[in-house]
Structure 1
Amino acid sequence: MKTYAMANKSQLAQEFMETGKLSSLPIIDMHTHMGPFYGTHLPEAELETMLQTMDRENIAWIISAPHSALFDPIGGNSEILEAMKRYPDRIYGYYVVNPHYDHDWERDLEAYDGVSGYVGFKFLPDYHKYPLDGEKYRKFYEFANDRGLLLLSHTWGHSPYNPPQMVEKLAKTYKNITFLLGHSAPGECDYAIEIARVLPNVYLELCDTHRLSGMVKKMVERASSEKVLFGTDFPWYDPHYCLGSILFSGIGDSDMRNIIHHNAMRLLPDKAKSTRGRKNSGA
């Protein structure tokens, strides 16, 4: 294994194979969840266990949308608010929008700017069976556009609810929003890559798509490494699984550093202050 890493000519891959982690480059995970999920067992779903994994694998901070926020209209975003309060500089959050439950929206938007840790919004159109360009989302697009926020949406190819074509249309309309294509639209990844290449406010995100052979290298070659973000769906995937698909993708170390660390720092400089203060920041 050590011989392979050296033949790959990647210092980062060699470091990982020799030590079992990337100590020189803190990882930033842009797509995570937390908490239990119905119908399955996720052994690392609890926040404290996730933090242990983050420490073990040198993950500086994550951005999360808890499962409870995705599907529980009563609990709403309370879990991420508590997590951000308990672990500032380690846990940041997306405000999750469920278009079928709008009773708290006005209150929450009024309070949004006063919440330390939010970076933007998370939409899940395929699961909520509501189109990404639906009217109920309009106030969130306008809010995010006014503030220059991130918007992470689940995307999937050939979906009636969140295909990459909808993102393309919205990104051209709301040019001050940074659109993150959650999963990068499997089934229409080539289309997703093209709009990320052309539109400055559209980014590819590796969650789940990293498992497709050759996909990381294709994204980098066509859209550049500056348009690809590290995301894992943690705790569904161990972050090291996604990391391996980058380290052994055949791209250069400078491209890897962009994906694993630098792009997130550039998009969220205020949230990255804690990372700059950590030993071996990889800058």
Structure 2
Amino acid sequence: MSIRTMTNKSQLAMEFVETGRLSSVSMIDMHTHMGAFYGTYLPEAKLETMVQTMQRENIEWIISAPHSALFDPIGGNSEIRAAMKQYPDKIYGYYVVNPHYDHDLEQDLAEFDSVDGYVGFKFLPDYHKYPLTGEKFRRIYEFANERGLLLLSHTWGHSAYNPPQMIAELARQYENINFLLGHSAPGETDYAIELAKKQPNVYLELCDTGRLSGMVQKMVREATSEKVLFGTDFPWYDPNYMLGSVLFSGIGDEDIRNIIHNNAVRLLGDSLKYKTLEGNGTQ
């Protein structure tokens, strides 16, 4: 496409078209996994390959929950700890909770603060067939609320286990947790957008939903760009795929910077060893 014919006025979009890379602003991916997943082939699932893609596409750091942790929290959470230790400034982690798995949760929570890189928790209620409001999650909410952590939950509209209405109830009860609506509740995204607009500690997350025509623009228009987070499900999707959905959504460059970089830095703040680099989107 000729740059002269582009209707999007974003200078960042033009930079990507001209160079094939967004170099002036680094991306921060709030929703990733790693490692093999049964029943499918993911060519970039290996940690080393993911890091190479991060370098190639200017992804400064990611927050990840290994595929193995989605079902085996002992093995999987060990995997993310190893990855964070190997790449301490590139990879941060969610502690994944499987409510059906019998293990010493209290011991893990006692060790949580001593693990460099943990920033919160990841829930998959639809996968585990256990509701977000279930009693087995209560200890996690109390722990995360005490520390002001992130909680990324898979959300889907019209679900018995993780509809946005449950997030609304929890967000009012645990005001110090920042709730990330994984996928922004497809099927009830209008409700999710309204919730993020009204509830200070609820954020929309673009993974999968952001590819829908007009969705990024609608989120920004109704909830503001400060309530939208960049997530890709990497390695299921190449991060540049979702980046294109943001760059060519018709929103302004300040809004783009908020989504792909600034909001993550603001949310995590002092909980990371991260230092904002001059020129990386915060000017």
Consecutive aligned runs of 4 or more in structure 1 exceeding 3 Å deviation: 4-7, 271-275
Structure 2 counterpart of 1:87: 87
Structure 2 counterpart of 1:252: 252
Q: How does 1:193-272 map to 2 (within 5 A)?
A: 193-270=193-270
Q: Is the CA contact 1:164–1:192 (under 8 Å) kept in the aligned structure 2?
A: yes
* Equivalent-residue separation in structure 2 for 1:24 and 1:196 (angstroms): 28
1:104 is displaced (CA, Å) by 2.4
Structure 1 counterpart of 2:281: 282
One-letter code of the match for 2:172? K
Structure 2 counterpart of 1:72: 72
* Equivalent-residue separation in structure 1 for 2:54 and 2:5 (angstroms): 24
Q: Which whole-Å deviations, capped at 9, do the CAs of 1:59-107 have from their partners, x for residues lacking one?
A: 0000000001111245140000000001001000000000001312111
What's the secondary structure of 2:131's corresponding residue?
Answer: coil
Number of positions where the alignment pairs a residue of Structure 1 with one of Structure 2: 282
Structure 2 counterpart of 1:168: 168
* Equivalent-residue separation in structure 2 for 1:7 and 1:187 (angstroms): 29
Q: Which whole-Å deviations, capped at 9, do the CAs of 1:125-162 have from their partners, x for residues lacking one?
A: 00000001000000000000000000000000000000
* Equivalent-residue separation in structure 2 for 1:271 and 1:255 (angstroms): 24
What's the secondary structure of 1:120's corresponding residue?
Answer: strand
Change (3 A) 1:73 1:204: closer
1:274 is displaced (CA, Å) by 3.7
One-letter code of the match for 1:177? I
- Identity rate, percent: 76
What's the secondary structure of 2:61's corresponding residue?
Answer: strand
What's the secondary structure of 1:276's corresponding residue?
Answer: coil
1:132 partnered with 2:132: yes
* Equivalent-residue separation in structure 2 for 1:57 and 1:73 (angstroms): 30
* Equivalent-residue separation in structure 1 for 2:205 and 2:92 (angstroms): 17
Q: Is the CA contact 1:89–1:271 (under 8 Å) kept in the aligned structure 2?
A: no
Structure 2: gaps spanning 5 or more residues: none
1:272 is displaced (CA, Å) by 5.7
* Equivalent-residue separation in structure 2 for 1:180 and 1:5 (angstroms): 36
One-letter code of the match for 2:40? T
What's the secondary structure of 1:44's corresponding residue?
Answer: coil
Change (3 A) 1:104 1:2: farther
1:191 partnered with 2:182: no
* Equivalent-residue separation in structure 1 for 2:76 and 2:105 (angstroms): 10
* Equivalent-residue separation in structure 1 for 2:273 and 2:24 (angstroms): 17
What's the secondary structure of 1:95's corresponding residue?
Answer: strand
Q: Is the CA contact 1:5–1:14 (under 8 Å) kept in the aligned structure 2?
A: no
What CA RMSD, in Å, does the superposition of the two structures yield over aligned residues? Answer: 1.3
* Equivalent-residue separation in structure 2 for 1:44 and 1:115 (angstroms): 26
Q: Is the CA contact 2:9–2:250 (under 8 Å) kept in the aligned structure 1?
A: no
Structure 1: gaps spanning 5 or more residues: none
* Equivalent-residue separation in structure 1 for 2:272 and 2:244 (angstroms): 24
One-letter code of the match for 2:208? D
Change (3 A) 1:135 1:280: same
Q: Which whole-Å deviations, capped at 9, do the CAs of 1:242-272 have from their partners, x for residues lacking one?
A: 0000001011111111001000010012356
One-letter code of the match for 1:244? G
Change (3 A) 1:271 1:19: farther
Q: TM-score, normalised by structure 1?
A: 0.97
Q: TM-score, normalised by structure 2?
A: 0.97
Structure 2 counterpart of 1:56: 56
Q: Is the CA contact 2:3–2:17 (under 8 Å) kept in the aligned structure 1?
A: no
Structure 2 counterpart of 1:181: 181
Change (3 A) 1:5 1:117: farther
